[in-house]
Structure formats: structure tokens, C-alpha cells
A and B are shown apart, each in its own frame.
Chain A
Amino acid sequence: MNMLSYKASSDSHGQESSYFLGWQEYEKNPYHQLQNPNGIVQMGLAENQLSFDLLESWLENNPDSVGFKRNGESVFRELALFQDYHGLPAFKNALVEFMAEIRRNKVKLDPNKLVLTAGSTSANETLMFCLAERGDAFLLPTPYYPGFDRDLKWRTEVEIVPIHCSSSNGFRITMPALEKAHQRALKLDLKVKGILITNPSNPLGISMTRNELNLLISFAMAKHIHIVSDEIFSGTVFDCPNYISIAEVLMDRQLANSEISRCIHIVYSLSKDLGLSGFRVGMIYSNNETVVSAATKMSSFGLVSSQTQYLLSNMLSDKKFTGKYLKENQKRLKKRKQMLVSGLQNAGIRCLKSNAGLFCWVDMRHLLSTQTFEAEKELWKKILGEVGLNISPGSSCHCSEPGWFRMCFANMSEETLTVAMERIKDFAQSVTSTRNRKITMYHQMICDQRSLINKWVSKLSSHDRESDR
């Protein structure tokens, strides 16, 4: 008898993908300015390390929040015992207000519709358990976050069917692409339960247009399916256009209390905007009472530590702080992104014009030996092994076109980013010059051959003419 479950003994966790393998290589040989200057620079981790000083200064000025104190009185016992899956009320209140603030207060959110989970990893899986059966499918626009293959599918046994997006229109979702994906699912005998989007997009770094969001809502209404909008990067929108949440579009279309509004669920987390991935704070926001109720009970399997809830409820209730933080954080992200974009430009590399996220979607198609995923893999290995940069190949994000890579910019110092840019410049130049050399050699070879042939032909013809006299 098989001793372990299929889930435990197969690789359906999806962690054999290059996304994770590159990470492993980095772990073996991590770059350090002093201790290991030739090591691999980690550009595959979408972390936000740019604004910790703001958090640390808040902590220093608010010691009670970490000291389990409220107004000087100890709340340790209360917190130690607090395991109510409805979550700390003060925390949920602060969170919905923070989320509204991020959305420029164009929407008002209700804390009773919020379910706390240990990270958005848990939130996404929980939503799958609530919305789909084993064998049902969710449609996801490509390219998408590699972790979804594990988070959405592994234990839930839900399938993912891709909505193929292409560079021809900046990887925007189109109606034909949606229809095609839906058809494909039906052909595979899969019942489509919904669409899951990440807005702003990982790995693209762009926020969705109003058009796209309207399209999605119309499609979901027509097919009677759900939309899960993973908005974990919503606070990282640093440039125009302004961020438009699906909640805003619903409101603008007067659909706030309609059937479809009960089929749209938002996922959020403090891992990207606040850079607190270690604290495991995620959440589901839904207008659907049944979903909220079921997800709340399921959150038992991944509650947020009360110690952490308390600290962050204080931090996020400090509106002076949150306003300042969001603005400053976005300013720093914009600057850092510009550094990456410039650095890449210097190397003759372009990327998708982005206004959000902690990474850029980089176009290295011109560096591929052939327009194939094999060539992309080759290039990726070279960049990892020879250039010493861990970046994420588009294929690991299920991109349908080879040659695109996700490069993170917010998880390192400016100096390190500069080093990375120099390395990539050298590399790109070497590829170009190698190619140029090859081209030159090839041309030279052609020329040599031509001149040989010419000589031979002229010899022949002169010989002939001599015999003719």
C-alpha cells in the first residue's frame, strides 16, 4: 500500500520549477558586498526592503505595541488567549481603512467581510476550497506568479487553465483570450468556477485598466463565475495610471449589491506593501456571507498570531503614519524602478512599461539564440551561472512567448542593484559582440568563399578563351 498520500509523494507541489531552483542556487552562493562579491545577486525575490526604516522608527516611538501593553496596562494574557477566528476587531478595522486608503478612499470596506489568514498563500488556497471542487478550474491570465501552481492546485486539486496574453498588446487581457481559455477548459472537461487575476500584476508590474476590469466583470456575469482579485501589490502603485480596484469598478457600475458583487473576492496581504512577509498577514474580503462564514472557519488552519495582530492593529490605526508611509514607500519604489529601467537600457535591454510592483518584466528576446523556451532556459542558466544574477524566466510564469524575465528591484541596496546592472551590461555586450563577431566571421567567410569562386570562375573563363585563339 502507498504509505503516503499522492499529494505528499508526487511533485504536484510544483516546486521543481526553475523559479524555486534558481532560489536554491542563490542560497548556495549568495552575493555579499564584502564577504562574497562574486556571489549570485538575488533578483528573483519580490520583497520590499525599501521602507523598513519607516517601520522601525514607528516601532521605536510606539513601544507599547510590542510590549503587549495598551495605555500602559498589560494585555499579554488577553492576547496569549486570543484565538478567535473572527480576528482582533481593532486589527480588522484598521486593515479595511488601510485598504480603502490605498484605493484613494474610492471604496468603503466593511470589517465584517474580512477574514484574516496566515498570509495570502493561505487566503488563495482557502478561496479555492470555498469556491471549487476537486477537478474544477480557475482561469488565470499568463504570465502569472509561479507559486499559484502550488497554492491554488496542490491540496485543493483545482485546475488552472491559462488565459494567454501576449506582448503584442502589452499582455492585456482580451475577450477572445478569455473565451478561448473558457473553451479550452470545457474541452478538457473542466468546470470553470472563476477567474483569478493579480492586480497589480505579478510578474508584469502593471495595474489593470478600467477596460480590462469591465471586461472581466462582464465575462464573469455572462458565465456565472467568480473573480478572485489578488491585490497584494495594490500599495506598490508608484506611477500613473492610478490604481483601480475591482471593488471600485463594481461601485461605478452600480453593481455593489448585485449577484455579481457576491462573486467577487479580494485577496490582500501586508507582505509586499509593508514588506512584512515573515509576519504572515493575509486576508480575504468578500461580499458573499457564505464565503466569509466558511473562510472564517477555515482560517482555523492558518490564523494570524495575536501578537502580530496587536502590533499591526496599532501601526495601521496610526493614520498619520500610514499616509506618510504609503506616499514615501511609493516614491522610493518609483525611484528604484527607474534605476533598474535605466540600467537595463544601458545594456540595450527594454522592459514592459510598468507603474507598480517590486519588479520589471524584462524583454530579452533579442538575446535568445532562437525564439524557443529551450533557448530561454539556456539564457537563464547563463545569467544564473555566469553572470551571477537570479532572475525568473518567463516560462516559470507560464508566459506563452519565450524571452521574457522578471527582475526584482526592491529587495536589495542601490549599490547591489548597480553591481547587477553592470554585470548585465557586460553580459549583454558580450552576447552582442560575440554575435557581431560571429556575424562578421560569417560575412568574412561568405566574402572569402565568393572571392574564391570568382577567382576560379575567372581562371576558367580565361583558360577557355586562351584555347579558343
Chain B
Amino acid sequence: MRLLSRKATCNTHGQDSSYFLGWEEYEKNPYDEIKNPTGIIQMGLAENQLSFDLLESWLANNPDAAVFKKDGQSIFRELALFQDYHGLPAFKKALVDFMAEIRGNRVTFDQNKIVLTAGATSANETLMFCLAEPGEAFLLPTPYYPGFDRDLKWRTGVEIVPIQCASSNGFQITAPALEEAYLEAQRRNLRVKGVLVTNPSNPLGTTMSRSELNLLVNFITAKGIHLISDEIYSGTVFSSPGFISIMEVLKDRKCENTEVWKRVHIVYSLSKDLGLPGFRVGAIYSNDEMVVSAATKMSSFGLVSSQTQYLLSALLSDNKFTKNYISENQRRLKQRQKLLVKGLEKAGISCLKSNAGLFCWVNMKHLLRSNTFEAEMELWKKIVYDVNLNISPGSSCHCTEPGWFRVCFANMSEETLKLAMDRLKSFVDSISKTTSHQMVKNSRKKYLTKWVFRLSFHDRGPKER
């Protein structure tokens, strides 16, 4: 008899993908300005390290929140015992207000519709458990976050069917692509329960347009399915067009309290906007009472530490702080993205025009030996092992076109980013030299052949006459 479950022994956790392997290589040889200046620079981790000073200064000015005090009184016992899966009310209130603030208060959220979970990883899995049976499917636009293969599928038994997006239109979702994905699911005998999008997109770094969002609403209405909008990067939108949340579109279409309104669920987290992935704060927001009720019970399997809920409820209730943080953080992200884009430009590399996220979607098609995923893997390996940059290959994000890479910019210092850009430029320059050298060699070959041909023709000429 099989001793362990299939889940434990197979690799559907998806962690053999290059996304995680590059990470491992980095761990073995991590760059350090002083201790290991030739080490691998981590550009595969979508972390936001740009605004910690703002958080640290808030903490220094508000010591009570971290030491279990409220108005000078200790609330340690209260917090130590607080394991109510409904969550700390003050925290939920602060969180929904923060979410509304990020959306320019064009939409507001009800704290009774939010469910706290240990990170968005937990939120996404929980939604799968609530909305789908094993063997059913969710449609996801490609390219998508590699972690979804584990988070959405592994223990839930749910399948992912890709909605193929192409560079020809900036990887935007189209109606034909949606229909094709739906048909593909049917061909594979999978019942489609919904669509899951990440908006702003990881790895694209772009916000969805109003027309894409409308398209999605039309599609899920027509098919009678769910829409999950993972908006964990919503606070990282640093330039126009601004962020349009799916809730805003529903509101504008006067869909409140309709059937479709109950089938749209938002996932959020403080891991990207606030740069606090270690604190494990995620959330599900849903207008469907049953989903909220079931997800709340399921959150027992991944509650947020009350110590952390309390600290962050104090932080996020400070409106002066949040207002300043949101705008300053976005300003710094914008500046840093420009640095990356310019650096890439210098190396003759372009990227998808982006307005959000902690990364750029970089076009290295011209550096591929051939327009294949094998060539992409080759290039990726070179970049990891020779150039010493860990970046994420598009294939790990299920991109349908080889040659795209996700390169992060917010998880290192400016100096490190500049160094990374220098390395990349050197690499590209060396390829060009090799390529032009190769081209010269190739053209020499051609010349030789012509001459040889001419010779032989000449020989043949007079004799054969």
C-alpha cells in the first residue's frame, strides 16, 4: 500500500520549475556588495524593499502597537487569546479603508465581507476550495505567476487552463482568447468554474484596461462563472493609466446586488504594497455571503497572528501615514522602474511599457539563438550562471512566446541595480561581438562558396563547349 499520499510524493507542487531553481542557485551564491561582489544578483524575487524606512519611522513613533499596548494599557492577554476567525475588527476596518484609499475611494468595501488569511497564497487556495471541485478548472491569462500552479492546483485538485495572450497587443486579454480557453477546457472535459486574473499583472507590470475588465464581466456573465481578481499589486501602480479595480467597473455598470456581483471576488495582501511578506497578511473580499462564511471557517487553517493583526491595525488606521506612504512608495517605484528601463535600453533591450508592479516584462527575443523555448532556457542559464543575474524566464510563467523575462527592480539597492545593468550590457555587447564575428565568418563562408562555384564553372566552361 502506498505509504504517503500522491500529493506528498508527486511534483504537482510545481516546485521543480526554473522559477524556483534559479532561486536555489542564487541561494548558493548570493551577491553581496562587500562579501561576494561577483555573486548572483537576485532579480527574480518580487519584493518591495523601497519603503521600509517609512514603516520603521512609524514604528519608532508608535511603540505601543508592537508592545501589545493600547492607550498605555497592556492588551497582551486579549491578543494572546484572540483566535477568532472573524479577525480583529479594528484590523478589518483599517484594511478595507486602506483598500478603498488605494482605489482613490472610488469604491468602498464592507469589513464584514472580508476574510483574513495567512497571505494571498492561502487566500487563493481557499477560494479554489470554495468555488471548485477537484477536476474543475479556472482560466488564467498567460503569462501568470508561477506560484499559481502550486497554490491553485496542488491540494485542491483544480486545473488551470491558460488564456493565451500575445505580445502583438501587449498581452491584453481578448474575447477570442477567452472563448478559445473555454473551448480548450471543454475539449479536456473540464468544467470551467471561473477566471482568475492578477490586476495589476504579475509578471507584466501593467494594469488592466477598462475594456479588458468589461470584457471579463461580459464573459463571466455569459458563462455564469466566477471571477477572482488578485489585486495584490494594486498599491504599486505608479503611473498612468491609474488602477481600475473590477469593483469599480461593476459599480459603474450598476451591477451591485446582481448575480454577477456575487461571483466576483478580490484577493489582497500586504506583501507587495507594504513589503511585509513575512507577516503573512492576506485577504479575500466577496459579496457572496456563503463564500465569506465558508472562507471564514476555512481560514482556521491559516489565521493571521493576532500580534501582527494588532500592529498593522494601528499602522493602517493612521490615515496620515497611509496617505503619505501610498504616494511616496509609488514615487519611488516609478523612479526605480525608470532606472531599470533605461539600463535595459542602454543594453539594447526593450520591455513592455508598464505602470505598476515590482518588475518589468523584458523582451530578449533578439538574444535568442532561435525562436524556441530551448533557446530561451539556454539564454536563461547563461544569464544565471555567466552573467550572474537571477531573472525569471517567460516559460516558467507559461508565456506562449519565447524570449520574455521578468526582471525585478524593487528588491535591491540602486547601486546593485546599476551593477546588474552593467553586467547585462556587457553580456549583450559580448553576444553582439560574437554575433557580428559569427556574421563575418558566415559571410566569408558565402564568399568562399561563390568563388569555388565560379572556379568550377570556369573549369567546366571551355572544356564542355
- A interface, CB within 8 angstroms of B: 1, 3-9, 13, 15, 47, 49, 52, 55-56, 59, 63, 66-68, 74, 76-77, 79-83, 118-119, 121-122, 125, 129-134, 150-151, 154-155, 191, 224, 226, 263, 271, 275-280, 288, 290-291, 294-295, 297-298, 300-308, 311
Are A301 and B275 CB-contacts (below 8 A) given A129-B155, A155-B129? Answer: no
- Determine if B1 is an interface residue (Cβ-Cβ < 8 Å): yes
What is the chain B residue whose CB lies nearest that of A288? B4
- Determine if B452 is an interface residue (Cβ-Cβ < 8 Å): no
Can you list the 3 inter-chain pairs with the closest CB atoms, starting with the nearest? A306-B278, A278-B306, A302-B302
Beyond the given A224-B1, A275-B80, A306-B278, please list 14 additional residue pairs across the A-B interface where CB-CB is below 8 A.
A4-B130, A56-B76, A77-B49, A121-B301, A154-B298, A155-B298, A277-B81, A278-B307, A298-B13, A302-B122, A305-B279, A307-B305, A307-B307, A308-B305
- Can you report 25 residue pairs joining A to B where beta carbons are below 8 Å apart? A8-B291, A13-B298, A49-B77, A56-B77, A67-B67, A68-B59, A76-B52, A76-B59, A77-B56, A79-B278, A81-B275, A118-B118, A131-B8, A191-B1, A224-B3, A263-B3, A275-B80, A278-B80, A278-B307, A279-B305, A301-B301, A302-B118, A303-B280, A306-B280, A307-B307
Chain B residues with CB under 8 Å of A291's CB are 4, 8
Q: Are A278 and B302 in contact (CB under 8 A)?
A: no
Q: Are A279 and B224 in contact (CB under 8 A)?
A: no
Considering the chains assembled together, what is the distance between the CA atoms of A316 and B158 in angstroms? 40
- Determine if B68 is an interface residue (Cβ-Cβ < 8 Å): yes
- Minimum CB–CB distance from A24 to chain B (whole Å) comes to 12
Are A5 and B63 CB-contacts (below 8 A) given A130-B8, A279-B305, A304-B280? Answer: no
Q: Which residues in window 307-345 of B have CB below 8 A to A? A: 307-308, 311
Most chain-A Cβ atoms within 10 A of its Cβ — which of B151, B263, B277?
B277
What is the chain B residue whose CB lies nearest that of A133? B5
Chain B residues with CB under 8 Å of A55's CB are 76, 80
What is the chain B residue whose CB lies nearest that of A128? B5
Are A307 and B311 CB-contacts (below 8 A) given A130-B5, A280-B304? Answer: yes
- Contact count band on B: 35 or more
- Determine if B66 is an interface residue (Cβ-Cβ < 8 Å): yes
Chain A residues with CB under 8 Å of B291's CB are 4, 8
Q: Are A129 and B8 in contact (CB under 8 A)?
A: yes
Are A300 and B66 CB-contacts (below 8 A) given A308-B308, A311-B307? Answer: no
Are A9 and B55 CB-contacts (below 8 A) given A129-B7, A280-B305, A305-B305? Answer: no
Q: Are A9 and B290 in contact (CB under 8 A)?
A: yes
- Determine if B351 is an interface residue (Cβ-Cβ < 8 Å): no
- Minimum CB–CB distance from B156 to chain A (whole Å) comes to 8
Chain B residues with CB under 8 Å of A3's CB are 131, 226, 263
- Determine if B423 is an interface residue (Cβ-Cβ < 8 Å): no
Q: Are B307 and A122 in contact (CB under 8 A)?
A: no
- Minimum CB–CB distance from A462 to chain B (whole Å) comes to 78
Chain A residues with CB under 8 Å of B311's CB are 307
- Minimum CB–CB distance from A408 to chain B (whole Å) comes to 13
Chain A residues with CB under 8 Å of B68's CB are 59, 66
- Minimum CB–CB distance from A72 to chain B (whole Å) comes to 14
Chain A residues with CB under 8 Å of B121's CB are 300-301
Most chain-B Cβ atoms within 10 A of its Cβ — which of A1, A300, A306?
A300
Are A131 and B79 CB-contacts (below 8 A) given A80-B276, A298-B155, A300-B150? Answer: no
What is the chain B residue whose CB lies nearest that of A275? B80
- Minimum CB–CB distance from A75 to chain B (whole Å) comes to 11
Among B5, B81, B122, B133, contact of A47 (Cβ-Cβ < 8 Å): B81
Chain B residues with CB under 8 Å of A306's CB are 278-280
Chain A residues with CB under 8 Å of B250's CB are none
Q: Are B307 and A279 in contact (CB under 8 A)?
A: yes
What is the chain A residue whose CB lies nearest that of B124? A301
Chain B residues with CB under 8 Å of A125's CB are 301
Q: Are A80 and B8 in contact (CB under 8 A)?
A: no
What is the chain A residue whose CB lies nearest that of B121? A300
Are A119 and B294 CB-contacts (below 8 A) given A66-B67, A294-B9? Answer: no
Considering the chains assembled together, what is the distance between the CA atoms of A79 and B154 in angstroms? 28
Considering the chains assembled together, what is the distance between the CA atoms of A226 and B1 in angstroms? 12
- Minimum CB–CB distance from A296 to chain B (whole Å) comes to 10
Considering the chains assembled together, what is the distance between the CA atoms of A294 and B8 in angstroms? 5
Are A68 and B66 CB-contacts (below 8 A) given A49-B77, A279-B307? Answer: yes
- Minimum CB–CB distance from B399 to chain A (whole Å) comes to 24
Are A278 and B279 CB-contacts (below 8 A) given A301-B121, A305-B304? Answer: no
Among B77, B129, B155, B300, contact of A5 (Cβ-Cβ < 8 Å): B129
Considering the chains assembled together, what is the distance between the CA atoms of A77 and B132 in angstroms? 38
Chain A residues with CB under 8 Å of B66's CB are 66-68
Q: Are A278 and B79 in contact (CB under 8 A)?
A: yes
- Minimum CB–CB distance from A117 to chain B (whole Å) comes to 9
- Determine if B6 is an interface residue (Cβ-Cβ < 8 Å): yes
Q: Are A5 and B278 in contact (CB under 8 A)?
A: no
Considering the chains assembled together, what is the distance between the CA atoms of A257 and B191 in angstroms? 47
Among A9, A80, A263, A276, contact of B278 (Cβ-Cβ < 8 Å): A80
Q: Are A81 and B122 in contact (CB under 8 A)?
A: no
Q: Are A278 and B83 in contact (CB under 8 A)?
A: yes
Chain B residues with CB under 8 Å of A56's CB are 74, 76-77
Considering the chains assembled together, what is the distance between the CA atoms of A13 and B83 in angstroms? 18
What is the chain B residue whose CB lies nearest that of A9? B290
- Determine if B82 is an interface residue (Cβ-Cβ < 8 Å): yes
Are A275 and B301 CB-contacts (below 8 A) given A4-B130, A4-B291, A56-B76? Answer: no
Among B55, B81, B275, B278, contact of A307 (Cβ-Cβ < 8 Å): B278
- Determine if B15 is an interface residue (Cβ-Cβ < 8 Å): yes
Interface string of B34-56 (1 = CB under 8 A from A): 00000000000001010010011
Interface string of B232-272 (1 = CB under 8 A from A): 00000000000000000000000000000001000000010
Are A276 and B279 CB-contacts (below 8 A) given A56-B74, A304-B305? Answer: no
Considering the chains assembled together, what is the distance between the CA atoms of A55 and B288 in angstroms? 41
- Determine if B303 is an interface residue (Cβ-Cβ < 8 Å): yes
- Minimum CB–CB distance from A249 to chain B (whole Å) comes to 21
- Determine if B30 is an interface residue (Cβ-Cβ < 8 Å): no
